[in-house]
Amino acid sequence: MVELIRVGLGMPAMQNNGVVIQRLTNHSPDATVSPEPGTDRNGPTSLIKSATSAIDCIKYAHNHFNMKFHPSAFQSLEGKRKFLSLIKTYMDLGGHHTQFNVIDANTLKDAQLHPENYRDLVVREAGFSAFSIILEKFVQEEIIKRREYRFEGV
């Protein structure tokens, strides 16, 4: 672990399984261990492991971590429990500060207009996730519609 961090300090960003962790990049105004957009391609569990391996509480205080979620992740009790177990694991692996985003439909609409800005935008389809921009238009529409319905319902 110590070795990994030392190597990381000498490089513009830290790589772990293809995930580029933001610490020490110019894009990282807020000392995070969050991924460089577009490099987190193996889902939340993989991301948590990469992030926790880059935590540095001593020298630069790179220690907090952002994640984003689809609102449906929080609908059922089961979903909330799974979410809690993610946080628990993050803490077990040495994390102590993490925060979450839940994407809204407007983002997805904007992604339809400007896909080039959204290569990393993940949507949850049905039990699996996909990058929003590679889905067909009507599937994107479908997800946007469904999302809005759910927001009205909440």
Partner 1 sequence: MGNDFSAIKGYIFDIQRYSINDGPGIRTTVFLKECPLRCLWCDNPESQEIRPELFYFKSLCVKCLRCIKVCPVGANKITNDSNIEIDRELCKVCGACVEACLDEARAISGRLISVEEVIEIVKKDALFYRNSGGGITLSGGEPCCQPLFAINLLEQSHQCGFHTTLDTTGYAPWEVFESIVRHADLVLYDIKHVDPQRHKELTGVDNKLILDNLKRIILQKIQVIVRVPLIPGLNDSDDNIRRLGEFVVDLDSRIEVDLLPYHPLGTSKYSRLGREYMLSGTVQFREEEVEKIQQRLKSYGLNVVIA
Applying the rule CB under 8 A, the residues between 54 and 113 that interact with partner 1 are: 79, 81-82, 85-86, 88-89, 92-93
Q: Given candidates 12, 18, 43, 94, which one binds partner 1 under the rule CB under 8 A? A: 43
Please report how many Cα atoms fall inside a 13 Å half-sphere around the Cα of residue 31, on the Cβ side. 10
CB of 68 to partner 1, least distance (A): 13
C-beta of 49 vs 68, nearer to partner 1: 49
Helix runs in the chain, H state only: 2-9, 43-53, 77-92, 105-113, 137-153
Applying the rule CB under 8 A, the residues between 114 and 133 that interact with partner 1 are: 115, 125-128, 130, 133
Asked if 37 is part of the footprint of partner 1 (rule: CB under 8 A), the reply reads no
Kindly state the tokens that stand for 13.
Answer: 């960003």
CB of 101 to partner 1, least distance (A): 16
What does the DSSP 8-state code read for residue 27?
A: T
Instruction: Determine how β-strand 97-102 pairs with β-strand 122-124.
Output: unpaired
Cα(117)–Cα(110) distance, integer angstroms:
9
CB of 29 to partner 1, least distance (A): 28
Cα(153)–Cα(57) distance, integer angstroms:
42
CB of 9 to partner 1, least distance (A): 25
CB of 104 to partner 1, least distance (A): 19
Asked if 45 is part of the footprint of partner 1 (rule: CB under 8 A), the reply reads yes
Closest of 138, 135, 132 to residue 111, by C-alpha:
132
Cα(72)–Cα(125) distance, integer angstroms:
10
* Chain residues in the site for partner 1 (CB under 8 A): 42-46, 48-49, 79, 81-82, 85-86, 88-89, 92-93, 115, 125-128, 130, 133-136, 138-139, 142
